[in-house]
A and B are shown apart, each in its own frame.
Chain A
Amino acid sequence: MAEPVKLGTTIMSVKYAGGVILGADTRTSAGSYVANRVSYKISKLSDRIYCCRSGSAADTRFLADVTKTNLSMHSSIIEEPPLVRTAARLMRHYTYAYREHLSAGLIVAGVDEIEGPKVFQLPSGGSAIEIPVAIGGSGSTFITAFVDANYRPDMNKAEALQFVIRAISHAMDRDGSSGGIIRTVVIPESEDEEVAEEWHKTVL
């Protein structure tokens, strides 16, 4: 019997003074086998809203796709870029309705004109909470204390990016289900700056 493909994972997102950063490892495992060592766990929901996915690769991919579609339709109707809050709400609709059937821990983060930079965590179970720094996935347990000790809300972009890379490096170091490289997406609040999608090697 084939093992299900899971995103045993480390994902995180932080709000910094000027935007949000999303980060994730790149290991997709089927049992102990690394099915994809360079996977994309950060998915685009709209131009300035992205989500991090952990749990079942299939379930979370579906949730991201359906939220992206619904968000796009909603945005066309209101003729405005969508709010991060709306993206989180639309996704939560599914994670709550199908909570018995899904295995999905998500983080939705981005910027919008009305509320600015926002990070929402949607843990498995179907709730949604707004917090300044969110960590998720199996690797997150190893860095809970690290994040508590090192997060500062007044970090600038460079500091916040280093914080995310360090945190995920530490999680990958200890968690067998996390590994590979670290993908980051930096979403600045200012319209003049582009969204930056990059990848980095672990710092450990």
Chain B
Amino acid sequence: MTLSGGSIIAIKYKGGVMMTADTLLSFGRMARYRGFSRIRSFGDNTLISFTGDHADFTTLMEEMEKEIEHDVQQDDGVVLNASEIHTLLTRILYHHRSDMKPKWTYLIVAGSDKDGKSFLGYIDLYGTHFECDYTATGYAEDLALPMIRREWNPEITEDQAAALLQKCVKVCVARDCKQSSDIQFAKVSETGTSLSRPVKIDCDWSVASYKEIE
């Protein structure tokens, strides 16, 4: 049993990428640490979040920061963008997998460059990696992706994206044991990254008065 993070959902909208994650680190079935932001922002143009082992994620971020530090020290005016960070993380994860010591994490990398071109990519503990318009990790893969597939289109606005994510998160809060109801929303666009304060998402409980079979 180790400290772990839950689901993430991320979708592209017209102008950027939006991501949502709860603020909980679980220890087995116990909700151990609340109010913890699982979405990390890098530079002004990249967001990374994780499902899975927290210790492994922390180590991955440390390894990545070393690489970014080398890049910054080149001082050539060019910094790693989200797509390059995605590739870098893929290589690191695949390397650990090939040593039979995987970093047990499922990552989502989201970013936007100065031209407004959005990036969204997925990486898992095996080094499986792909780019996509929308994705999710953890339980949200089963609960949220079907809803997104029905409603997403490339012209979706920021407000529509936020509403769609709210809908998906409500289902996750209702149906995932390890999901907390304090949710953080984050977005990245050509103007930079922004992370919201945690918001409490509640379900509709009107179904509570149903009649059981005697």
Report the minimum CB–CB distance from B179 to chain A (whole Å).
9
Q: Is A29 close to B, CB under 8 A? A: yes
Residues from 173 to 195 in A contacting B, C-beta threshold 8 Å: 173-177, 179-181
Q: CB-defined interface of A29-42 with B at 8 Å, one 1/0 digit per residue?
A: 10011100110100
**Complex interface: chain A residues within 8 A of B210 (CB):** 38
**Complex interface: chain A residues within 8 A of B26 (CB):** 176
The answer to whether B31 touches A37, judged by C-beta atoms less than 8 angstroms apart, is: no
Report the minimum CB–CB distance from B176 to chain A (whole Å).
6
The answer to whether A32 touches B176, judged by C-beta atoms less than 8 angstroms apart, is: yes
Number of contact residues on A: which range applies?
20 to 34
Q: How many residues from B make CB contacts under 8 Å with A?
A: 18
- Of all chain A residues, the one with the shortest Cβ separation from B174 is A37
Q: Is A93 close to B, CB under 8 A? A: no
Residues from 143 to 190 in B contacting A, C-beta threshold 8 Å: 174-178
**Complex interface: chain B residues within 8 A of A138 (CB):** 29
Q: Is B207 close to A, CB under 8 A? A: yes
Q: Is A13 close to B, CB under 8 A? A: no
Report the minimum CB–CB distance from B36 to chain A (whole Å).
15
Choose among B178, B208, B212 the residue that contacts A32 (Cβ–Cβ < 8 A). B178
- Of all chain A residues, the one with the shortest Cβ separation from B211 is A40
**Complex interface: chain A residues within 8 A of B205 (CB):** 38, 180-181, 199, 201
Q: Is B100 close to A, CB under 8 A? A: no
Rounded to whole angstroms, the CA-CA distance of A201 and B208 in the bound complex is: 11
Choose among B29, B31, B175, B207 the residue that contacts A33 (Cβ–Cβ < 8 A). B175
| Chain A interface SS verdict (over half) | loop
Q: CB-defined interface of B22-42 with A at 8 Å, one 1/0 digit per residue?
A: 000010111100000000000
Choose among A38, A142, A173, A177 the residue that contacts B177 (Cβ–Cβ < 8 A). A177
The answer to whether A181 touches B208, judged by C-beta atoms less than 8 angstroms apart, is: yes
**Complex interface: chain B residues within 8 A of A8 (CB):** 29, 177
Rounded to whole angstroms, the CA-CA distance of A173 and B212 in the bound complex is: 26
Q: Is B72 close to A, CB under 8 A? A: no
The answer to whether A38 touches B31, judged by C-beta atoms less than 8 angstroms apart, is: no
Q: Is B199 close to A, CB under 8 A? A: no
Report the minimum CB–CB distance from B117 to chain A (whole Å).
36
Q: Is A27 close to B, CB under 8 A? A: yes
**Complex interface: chain A residues within 8 A of B29 (CB):** 8, 138, 175-177
Residues from 1 to 58 in B contacting A, C-beta threshold 8 Å: 26, 28-31
Q: Which of A29, A37, A201 has the most CB of B within 10 A?
A: A37
Choose among B28, B177, B207, B208 the residue that contacts A179 (Cβ–Cβ < 8 A). B177
Residues from 184 to 214 in B contacting A, C-beta threshold 8 Å: 203, 205, 207-210, 212
- Of all chain B residues, the one with the shortest Cβ separation from A183 is B208
Report the minimum CB–CB distance from A9 to chain B (whole Å).
11
The answer to whether A32 touches B139, judged by C-beta atoms less than 8 angstroms apart, is: yes
Rounded to whole angstroms, the CA-CA distance of A142 and B27 in the bound complex is: 13
- Of all chain A residues, the one with the shortest Cβ separation from B142 is A33
User: Beyond A32-B139, A37-B203, is A176–B177 a contact (Cβ under 8 Å)?
Assistant: yes
**Complex interface: chain A residues within 8 A of B31 (CB):** 173-176
A residues lining the B interface (CB < 8 Å): 8, 26-27, 29, 32-34, 37-38, 40, 138, 142, 173-177, 179-181, 199, 201
Contacts A8-B177, A37-B175, A175-B31 supplied; 9 other A-B pairs, CB < 8 Å: A26-B208, A32-B139, A32-B176, A32-B178, A38-B208, A40-B212, A176-B28, A177-B29, A199-B209
Query: Which A-B residue pairs are the 10 nearest by beta carbons?
Result: A176-B29, A176-B177, A34-B175, A38-B208, A32-B177, A176-B178, A174-B31, A199-B208, A29-B177, A40-B212
Q: What are 11 A-B residue pairs whose CB atoms fall within 8 Å in the complex?
A: A29-B177, A32-B139, A32-B176, A34-B176, A37-B174, A38-B205, A142-B30, A175-B31, A176-B177, A177-B29, A177-B177
